[in-house]
């Protein structure tokens, strides 16, 4: 540090004095510049510390809290329509329950057993000749019935397919053998019901084939996982014509949800066993004749997405994955955004806040909550009524949200969790508004994400597909099972009918009769 000047240090010459003043000013400006640079550096470091602290908090939340789109200290933010609608009912029901009998309380919440289940009577009677204290013999005057759920373990049978032989008594050597329906896999021991059972266990219940192999061993039946895998591949190939009809229906619907999730295939040409391939999922947006289709692909490119939408015209709803962007700008397709993904970004920003502290994320979440409240109230309304309410109530909320968004963008660190949420919202704003222009559209892409969930759960159990053929077979069978469920059919019963009837279908009308919305269970 320089020693301060005194009066004796100042030169007597006026020019020298001027030079000293100029030098002092230059030194002051240089120091001010250095201080500004240091302040800027400190500010940059502080922002980076804040960002890293957010990341640490975010990963702690992901690791130690429940996987849910709500902060651990937050109330049921997106369940408020039900909370509001049922608050008065809860109050009245609590009053009623306080005066109810103990017996009524004990049975509260127990649902009656399905009436379609077969009943087996087990009667309990008094011993013959039992008498009252007065000496008279008891007489039956009625009965009291309680029900208990029981299960009969799986039972495997061998169905013998007997073909009678016939001979003409007049023509020597004239023989005839009775015909029988075509089987799902010729010359195989696999019956339609067994194939449906294995497929449902794996693709609906997430039970891998090696576990099923062990289960069959307990039933004293030897079925290797390789044999069952081969059955699944051949069964899927049998269903190809039906899949084609389902795809035609989906592409003609004019409204499709789309998403993708990873899948690992061990034996895939040109790829290591550790690399990821993808399962693409498409779902019709409307509830009439819902279709859910899974498709295996080795990549996640735009071209793959385009190949899955040949000549499609209408609404396409996805997340913000870049692979969909090029499709969304074509003239025949209107690309919708997903409010669930936008909401999720603000939930992440909420999670990194200190406990019991509110912030800008809460403002966004409250406004998004209002959009979902509106959707909750109009979900059972016809499209024209939904459109009318969205054009009045939803647009008003969106206007408030857009005003808040424009103000917040300039005052938020871009790399923070909140900054990322704001950036996502701003970038997708136009696509996020489109749902208000048509009453048939959904506010988010959750319908297809819900359809993916059984696949994701199953993947945790079976981990990978052995081959590309296996992955394609999985896609086919997932498609049939999820579409059956979406149309209110029991998957195993539906697959049993398909494996029995498809080998004997020859005409378009016969295949169309097996579509879920045309199918009559046998």
Structure confidence by residue, pLDDT tens digits, 324-345: 888 878 889 999 999 999 999 9
Q: How wide is the angle at C-alpha 442 spanned by C-alphas 439 and 447, nearest 5°?
A: 145
* pLDDT number for residue 92: 40
* pLDDT number for residue 197: 95
* pLDDT number for residue 75: 36
CA separation for the pair 201, 92 (Å, rounded): 44
**Nearest alpha carbon to residue 396 among 359, 358, 436, 356:** 436
* pLDDT number for residue 56: 67
Two tokens, residue 266: 């061990």
The string of pLDDT tens digits covering residues 392-422 is 999 999 999 999 999 988 888 777 888 899 9
Query: What is the arithmetic mean of pLDDT over 4-12?
Result: 69
Pairing of strands 314-317, 255-263: parallel
Residue 194: CB atoms within 10 A of its CB come to 22
- How much of the chain exceeds pLDDT 90, in percent? 42
**Bridge partners of residue 255, in order along the sequence:** 315
* pLDDT number for residue 330: 82
Predicted model pTM:
0.74
Highest mean pLDDT among 212-216, 348-352, 458-462: 212-216
* pLDDT number for residue 50: 65
Pairing of strands 333-336, 314-317: parallel
CB 197 within 8 A of CB 437: no
Q: How wide is the angle at C-alpha 156 spanned by C-alphas 454 and 213, nearest 5°?
A: 50
Q: Mean pLDDT score of the chain, rounded to an integer?
A: 83
Element (H, E) at 484: helix 468-486
The string of pLDDT tens digits covering residues 151-177 is 887 778 888 888 888 888 888 778 888
DSSP letter for 292, please.
Answer: E
> Residue 82: which pLDDT band, with cuts at 50, 70 and 90?
very low
> Residue 373: which pLDDT band, with cuts at 50, 70 and 90?
very high
**Bridge partners of residue 292, in order along the sequence:** 283
* pLDDT number for residue 411: 81
* pLDDT number for residue 25: 84
CA separation for the pair 185, 478 (Å, rounded): 20
Q: What DSSP assignment string belongs to 116-163?
A: TS--------PPTT-B-TTSPBP-------------PPP---------
Backbone angles phi, psi at 315, to 5 degrees: -100, 135
Highest mean pLDDT among 67-71, 102-106, 236-240: 236-240
The string of pLDDT tens digits covering residues 11-33 is 777 877 778 778 888 888 888 88
pLDDT surpassing 70 at residue 98? no
- Terminal Cα-to-Cα distance of the chain (whole angstroms): 97
């Amino acid at each position: 540090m320089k020693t301060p000047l005194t009066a004796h240090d100042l030169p007597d010459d006026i020019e020298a004095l001027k030079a000293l003043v100029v030098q002092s000013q230059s030194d002051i400006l240089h120091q001010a510049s250095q201080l500004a640079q240091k302040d800027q550096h400190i500010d940059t470091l502080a922002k980076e510390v804040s960002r890293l602290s957010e990341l640490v908090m975010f990963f702690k939340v992901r690791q130690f809290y429940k996987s849910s789109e709500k902060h651990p200290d937050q109330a049921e933010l997106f369940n408020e329509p039900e909370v509001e609608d049922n608050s008065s009912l809860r109050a009245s029901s609590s009053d009623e329950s306080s005066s109810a009998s103990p017996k009524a309380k004990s049975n509260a919440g127990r649902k009656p057993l399905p009436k379609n289940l077969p009943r087996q009577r087990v009667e309990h009677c008094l011993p013959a000749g039992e008498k009252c204290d007065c000496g008279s013999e008891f007489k039956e005057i009625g009965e009291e019935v309680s029900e208990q759920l029981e299960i009969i373990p799986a039972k495997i049978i061998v169905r013998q397919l007997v073909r009678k032989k016939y001979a003409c008594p007049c023509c020597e050597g004239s023989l005839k053998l009775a015909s029988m329906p075509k089987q799902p896999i010729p010359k195989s021991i696999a019956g339609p019901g067994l194939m449906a059972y294995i497929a449902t266990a794996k693709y609906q219940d997430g039970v891998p084939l090696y576990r099923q192999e062990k289960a069959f061993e307990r039933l004293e039946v030897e079925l290797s996982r390789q044999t069952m895998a081969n059955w699944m591949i051949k069964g899927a190939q049998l269903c190809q014509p039906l899949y084609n009809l389902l795809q035609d229906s989906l592409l003609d619907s004019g409204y499709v949800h789309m998403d993708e999730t990873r899948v690992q295939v061990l034996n895939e040409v040109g790829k290591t066993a550790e690399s990821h391939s993808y399962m693409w999922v498409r779902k019709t947006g409307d509830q009439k004749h819902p279709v859910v289709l899974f498709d295996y692909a080795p990549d996640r490119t735009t071209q793959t997405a385009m190949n899955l939408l040949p000549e499609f015209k209408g609404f396409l709803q996805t997340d913000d994955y870049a692979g969909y962007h090029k499709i969304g700008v074509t003239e025949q397709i209107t690309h919708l955004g997903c409010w669930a993904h936008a909401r999720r970004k603000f939930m992440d920003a909420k999670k990194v806040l200190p406990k019991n502290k509110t912030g800008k994320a809460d403002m966004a979440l409250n406004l998004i909550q209002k959009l979902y409240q509106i959707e909750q109230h109009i979900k059972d309304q016809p499209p024209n009524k939904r459109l009318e309410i969205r054009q009045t109530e939803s647009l008003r909320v969106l206007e408030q949200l857009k005003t808040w968004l424009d103000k917040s963008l300039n005052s938020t660190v871009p790399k923070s969790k909140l900054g990322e949420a704001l950036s996502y919202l701003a970038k997708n704003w136009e696509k996020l508004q489109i749902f208000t222009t048509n009453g048939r559209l959904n506010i988010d892409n959750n319908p297809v994400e819900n359809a993916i969930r059984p696949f994701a759960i199953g993947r945790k159990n079976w981990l990978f597909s052995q081959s590309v053929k296996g992955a394609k077979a999985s896609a086919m069978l997932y498609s049939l099972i999820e579409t059956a469920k979406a149309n209110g059919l029991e998957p195993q019963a539906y697959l049993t009918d398909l494996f029995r009837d498809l080998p004997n279908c020859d005409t378009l009308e016969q295949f169309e009769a097996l579509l879920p919305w045309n199918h009559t269970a046998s």
